[in-house]
Structure 1
Amino acid sequence: MKNRLRLRASIDTVRWLAFQACPFRGHDESEDLKDQGNFLEIVKLLASYNEEVKAVVLGNAPQNAKYTSPTIQKEILDLLACNVQRAIHNEIGNAKFCIIVDESRDESRKEQMALVVRFVDKDGFVRERFLDLIHVHDTCSVTLKEKLIIVLAHHKLDIQSIHGQGYDGASNICGEWNGLQAKFNQECPYDYYVHCFAHQLQLALVDASKEVIEVHTFFEDLATVVNTVISSTKRNDDSHDYQVAEIGQLIELDELETESGANQIGTLRRPGDTRGSSHYDSVCSLLKRYKPTYLV
């Protein structure tokens, strides 16, 4: 019973952190620290409100059965993920579905492919469900297709039930002859491809703005300024130094508020033709750091 109660505290903590999309662990979880990371701190909080829980967790737990190690946390999270994926499979049932796929590098420089399924549920409502995140060694169409087939088979979803594909405009994905959509079409003749509407809208806006010479020239110059500053390590460091000096001067003149999280040192942002609001963000970043950028 003590083991069950101890494990339940860990499961409830994992569920809460996962639902709130919070990080589990801190950089250092030593016992003498005030902040040992979100997971351990929430277990402490649960223990502080319940004497029965307090008697069996953390320091009061056996050394070999605390159920708080990173391995146990990942194991519980994996079981919860399997339950969610099983529920999505049951929701789809035998219905036809579409796949929406995109890939991007994460912070550890690994290529990750996100898979979303779109379908009509039993009540006639269109649903979109995030099904899985798959690590891929490269982004060629053959690799992506093989990985998708393996993942769909793992979730007991038949590729013959795919009746739609939604991707961006990258050639490895939307290519008419060797792209991912073409390779799926060879096996699924009703697997129609639709180019992502958000990408289409962004590209249409960019092309339309290029027809206005002043706007086109402005964003060309903006890209040149941003690339000049951030492409060089030395110039990037100089920009940071100028920002520190400027912030210090403004604080001395009482023109800046000093509070937690304020006056962060940052870098200029590149505008991207396929990223929504990236041009606006790039302009804002330049306005915010105009003087340091001018000095660089």
Structure 2
Amino acid sequence: MIQKEIIECFAKEVTKNICAEIKDDVFGLLVDESSDVSLKEQMAVVVRFVDKFRVVRENFIGIVHVRDTASSTLKEAIDSLLANNQLSIKQVRGQVGDCGGRKKNPGVKTFYEYLSMVVTTVSASYKRKDMIRETKKARVENEILEGEIKTGKGLNQEVSLARAGDTRWGSHHRTIISLLRLFPEVVTVLQYVKEDGDCSQQRTNAKGILSYFKKLEFVFYMHLMGDVLSYTNALSKHLQQKGKDLLEAANLINGTKRALNALRENGFESMLEKSYFLL
């Protein structure tokens, strides 16, 4: 308890110094919503500002638990956090967030839930060494989880079924791309777990995942989100590079918007064709 109190005191002092450095100046906000281990919604807040040495700083100032992810609830929580640190939302000159946006679309939400489940199920199966036998299933599990399956023409690229972070574009993109490339192999592992999983819960999970995998909805979302995230993830990486000026950043953003608009206008037919082919 004493150690926890000491850490909390240090954290408060660090946050106090960060906010004191901003003082009456303007700053940007980076807000990211996720769930804690008890599945309660929480919001992490980071401030972005230019310090006295003209260096752009990004500093974490707190985590706030919220009852839901409605915009009014999030605004109220941000207002309260800033006020407690002697800052005002009137000083904010830009904000970036991932506050449950995907949850507004039930189909996308379901897709991401199953995306997480498939990695967890395959990983749990692999970790049980006593289950692994010299079969095709054993070989596939090892190749999937250790990145030994080689795919792609020319580059002969190695791909593993990466685990997605909770709200990170890059990690979701890697997971979706690897699942697209390893789809038949992942189905093989899930079929094995469905029949020979070490507990009823694991077998039930695999059965549910396989049932969803057979739906056009899942395969279509897999292609859709893979394409969308390929654009947004590339943009995010470019914007995080040092030396990017405002004009270059604006051109990158406009280019991404045009690509996404073209995808919306002309991309669905080709996605459906690829989805039917995978099924």
Q: Output the TM-score relative to the length of structure 2.
A: 0.45
Q: Larger Cα Rg: Structure 1 or Structure 2?
A: 1
Q: Which has the higher contact order (CA 8 A, sep 6+)?
A: 2
Q: Output the TM-score relative to the length of structure 1.
A: 0.43
Higher helix share: 2
